[in-house]
Amino acid sequence: MRYILSLFVLMTLSFSALAVGVDEVRLADPAEEARAQGLMKQLRCLVCQNQSIVDSDAALAKDLRIIVRERITAGDNDEQALSFMTSRYGDWVLLKPPFDGGTIILWLSPLLLLIVGFYIVYRSQKGRQTKLIVEPLSAKEQSRVNELLKEGNGD
Amino acid sequence: MRLNMFIPFAIFCLLSAALFVGLNLNPGNIPSALINDPVPEFSLPIVGGEEIGFSSNDLGAEDEVILVNFFASWCAPCYVEHPFLMKLKERGYKIYGVSYKDKARDTNGFIERQGNPYYKIAADEMGRVSIDWGVYGVPETYIIKNGIIMYKHAGPIHEMEFEDKIIPIIESIEQ
């Protein structure tokens, strides 16, 4: 058991799990490096489009990683570093599209669909309810009921 | 028949149409962020030398429509595109060439063997100026007038595309 456990710990500590562009120099300050890597995860590799530049092996992704680190070293905040990229490659370089006029439908459509869904369920449930119409018994029916009840009591 | 019954069908049709259009878009066609912006400031050396090949000032000084073509000897589509660039040169287009992340020897060999369609060639060995331009692969061609980026074409230019898409743009710019 202890053997398996230590193996598991070793596996989770493996450096490949943390591998970010093995080929390049990391920033000396771990906090800055963490920030840089956080930004890299938000940036799309333009060559292999659904990967971030962290995941991609493309030469361009490597260059962009180096640039992100340079921007951080130059004292850019996150927003400035990202806008360095969007000014060259457009919003498309961001894996998460910004919330603005052009993307409002994209962002709000899940909520809209949910509301429409609830409305449809509400409507169909309402239609399914059978309406009970309770009419008072006629005089004849009432006397029959009374008769039956009397018989039952007699037993 | 109630009208309500057609609503799901109508939604289905709309969705199908939207998806069909989306499916036919070319995901490789990323619109440039720099359209209608001045060319980024740069100055690049000649291939295998120290002297300035050309700079943003040179492009800004051109008052006719010019083309800026990013290429590399290691780029297969560039070989496909090359004969057409030669034709464009014959037709009188001024093409500035930027050799992207290429060794000087290889670029020179490429030009010697394939011919030189370029008015001037500069080398971007580090690829950093190209990133300022928003280049994400070679070849890419920009249409410039008075130092303003009017249009970007990613991938090799084919004659048909040039006639159908780019000529109308150039004509509208020239007016």
- Give the tens place of pLDDT for each residue, B118-152: 999 999 999 999 999 999 999 999 999 999 999 99
CB distance from B30 to chain A under 8 Å? Answer: yes
CB distance from B34 to chain A under 8 Å? Answer: yes
Alpha-carbon span B151 to B36, nearest angstrom: 8
Sort A78 into a burial class: Cβ within 10 Å, 0-12 / 13-18 / 19+: middle
> Same structural domain for residues A109 and A82?
no
> Same structural domain for residues A60 and A114?
no
Q: Closest approach of chain B CAs to the CA of A13, in angstroms?
A: 35
Residue B72 CA: distances (Å) to CA of A88, B25, B47, B119? 21, 27, 12, 16
Range of A81's domain? 19-96
Query: Does some domain include residue B16?
Result: no
Q: What per-residue confidence (pLDDT) applies to A20?
A: 55
Percentage of the residues of chain A whose pLDDT score is greater than 70: 88
CB distance from A46 to chain B under 8 Å? Answer: yes
Q: Tokens 């009432």 belong to which residue? A: A142
Alpha-carbon span A96 to A42, nearest angstrom: 7
Q: What per-residue confidence (pLDDT) applies to A14?
A: 61
pLDDT, mean of residues A116-121? 92
> Same structural domain for residues A71 and A83?
yes
Alpha-carbon span B169 to B142, nearest angstrom: 12
Q: What per-residue confidence (pLDDT) applies to A50?
A: 84
By Cβ distance, the residue of B31, B127, B131 closest to A88 is: B131
Residues contacting residue B24 through CB under 8 Å, at least 6 positions apart: none
CB distance from A102 to chain B under 8 Å? Answer: no
> Same structural domain for residues A77 and A35?
yes
Task: Please tell me the total number of residues recorded for chain B in this structure.
Answer: 175
> Same structural domain for residues A120 and A89?
no
By Cβ distance, the residue of A49, A67, A89 closest to B33 is: A89
Query: Does some domain include residue A54?
Result: yes
Q: What per-residue confidence (pLDDT) applies to A15?
A: 54
User: In this structure, what CATH number is given to the domain that contains residue B137?
Assistant: 3.40.30.10
Number of domains forming the structure of chain A: 2
- Cβ atoms of B66 and B148 closer than 8 Å: no
pLDDT category at A155 given cuts 50, 70, 90 is: low
User: Residue B132: its chain A contacts at CB < 8 A?
Assistant: 88
pLDDT, mean of residues A25-36? 90
C-beta atoms of B137 and A60 within 8 A: yes
> Same structural domain for residues A90 and A38?
yes
> Same structural domain for residues A83 and A110?
no
By Cβ distance, the residue of B133, B134, B137 closest to A47 is: B137
Q: Tokens 């053997």 belong to which residue? A: A3
Whether A119 has a pLDDT exceeding 70, the answer reads: yes
Alpha-carbon span B55 to B43, nearest angstrom: 4
Query: Does some domain include residue A146?
Result: no
Whether A137 has a pLDDT exceeding 90, the answer reads: no
User: In this structure, what CATH number is given to the domain that contains residue A61?
Assistant: 1.10.8.640
Query: Does some domain include residue A86?
Result: yes
Query: Does some domain include residue A9?
Result: no
pLDDT category at A49 given cuts 50, 70, 90 is: confident
Query: Does some domain include residue A155?
Result: no
pLDDT category at A19 given cuts 50, 70, 90 is: low
The tens digit of pLDDT for each residue in B25-83 reads 877 677 788 999 999 999 999 999 999 999 999 999 998 999 999 999 999 999 999 99
C-beta atoms of B30 and A63 within 8 A: no
> Same structural domain for residues A85 and A109?
no
Residue A137 CA: distances (Å) to CA of A115, A140, B52, B151? 44, 8, 106, 85
Range of B153's domain? 42-174
Query: Does some domain include residue A11?
Result: no
Query: Does some domain include residue A73?
Result: yes
pLDDT category at A126 given cuts 50, 70, 90 is: confident
Alpha-carbon span A28 to B9, nearest angstrom: 60
Query: Does some domain include residue A133?
Result: no
Residue of B nearest to A93 (CA): B30
Residues contacting residue B61 through CB under 8 Å, at least 6 positions apart: B147
Q: What per-residue confidence (pLDDT) applies to A74?
A: 94
Q: What per-residue confidence (pLDDT) applies to A9?
A: 72
CB atoms within 10 A of CB B24: 7
CB distance from B22 to chain A under 8 Å? Answer: no
Number of domains forming the structure of chain B: 1
By Cβ distance, the residue of B127, B128, B136 closest to A46 is: B136
> Same structural domain for residues A61 and A123?
no
C-beta atoms of B132 and A88 within 8 A: yes
